Amino acid sequence: MERTRRAARGELGSVHVGFIGPAMFALLPKVIRTFREQFPEVELTLHEGSSMQVTAMLLGGTVDVGFLVPPAELDDGIAVDTLVTDVLTVVLPAGHRLGSQAAVRLEALAGEPFVMFSAQGVPTLSSRIAALCRQAGFEPRIAQEAVQISTVMGLVAGGVGISLLPGAVATLIPAGVICRPILADPRLLEVRLCAAYRPEGLSEAARRFLDIART
């Protein structure tokens, strides 16, 4: 009986969380730490993937909550809460000609080789970056595609090309990479990190996790 009451309060059970890489830069470490401190007997399982993979996990019932960048193809029964709003920043290899500038105009990136997010793996960011380039009057010249942010930064460090990444990663860039803000309307550069979940049937433990993420 006591276990039933504790489970009803969200103190027991399990929570499966899907997330994309940027969530670990912008939000999740603090949420995970706080949740484990407050609910130490709840089993927390984390599943990393691209936005498409996290969406599939959520739709398939593998995860209770998915942290992703919308838009994504979600059922009508899926709720989406915006948790963090970031802006894209330009990521350059050390020694790049634009590195001496305090901020970079998108037009200045015309002709540069891009390390682009894969259109299959990360369609939201891929299409968003391509659209920004077109608005600036050019098509991005794709030198290499990647799925994970760490891979993108490594390729930039290796001189393969430049990229656009959420600003939250600027605090964790590797050696050989520099970040610069983009001179453009911030509203055009916004990237939203959201929590997606099915309100109906969501366990109390998963609700507790969401509550912490929202604060």
pLDDT, one tens digit per residue, over 25-53 is: 879 999 999 999 999 999 999 999 888 88
* pLDDT bucket at 171, cuts 50 / 70 / 90: confident
Angle at 28 between CA 26 and CA 29, to 5 degrees: 100
Q: What pLDDT, on a 0 to 100 scale, did the predictor assign at position 104?
A: 98
**Domain co-membership, 127 together with 116:** yes
How many whole angstroms separate alpha carbon 25 and alpha carbon 93?
A: 20
pLDDT above 60: residue 128: yes
| Euclidean distance between CA atoms 179 and 37, whole angstroms | 34
67 & 119 share domain? no
Instruction: Average the pLDDT over each of 8-17, 54-63, 101-110, 148-157 and give the range with the smallest value.
Output: 8-17
Q: Where are the alpha helices (DSSP H) in the chain?
A: 2-8, 21-26, 28-38, 51-60, 123-135, 149-157, 186-189, 204-214
Judge if 6 and 75 occupy the same domain: yes
Residue 4 confidence (pLDDT): 63
pLDDT score recorded for residue 21: 84
Q: Which domain holds residue 71?
A: 1-84+192-214
Same domain, 139 and 62: no
pLDDT of residue 84: 92
Residue 99 sits in the same domain as residue 120? yes
Give the separation between CA 47 and CA 85, rounded to whole angstroms: 22
Q: Looking at residue 1, what is its pLDDT?
A: 59
Which residue, 6, 85, 26, 42, is CA-closest to 209? 42
| Residue 8 in this model has a pLDDT that exceeds 60 | no
Taking all residues of the chain, what is their mean pLDDT, rounded to a whole number?
Answer: 91
pLDDT tens digits along 86-109: 999 999 999 999 999 999 999 999
The pLDDT score that the predictor gives to residue 123 is 84
Tell me, yes or no, whether 148 and 210 share the same domain.
no
Q: How far apart are CA 182 and CA 103, in angstroms?
A: 6
Please indicate, yes or no, whether residues 104 and 40 belong to a single structural domain of this protein.
no
Look up residue 151 and give its two tokens. 């891979």
Sign, CA dihedral 63-81-120-158, equals: negative
Clarify whether residues 93 and 124 are in a common domain: yes
CATH of the domain at 62: 3.40.190.10
Residue pair 66/57 in contact by the 8 Å Cβ criterion: yes
Total structural domains in the chain? 2
**CA–CA gap between residue 102 and residue 201 (Å, rounded):** 49
Reported as a single tens digit per residue, the pLDDT across 12-21 is 899 999 998 8
Looking at the structure, do residues 28 and 102 belong to the same domain, yes or no? no
Residue 2 pLDDT? 58
Answer yes or no: do 101 and 131 share one domain: yes
Q: Which residue has the higher pLDDT, 163 or 55?
A: 163
Tell me the pTM: 0.84
Are 16 and 101 in the same domain?
A: no
Q: How many alpha carbons lie under 13 Å from residue 155 in its C-beta half-sphere?
A: 22
Are 116 and 98 in the same domain?
Answer: yes
What's the rounded Cα separation, in Å, for the pair 160 and 100?
19
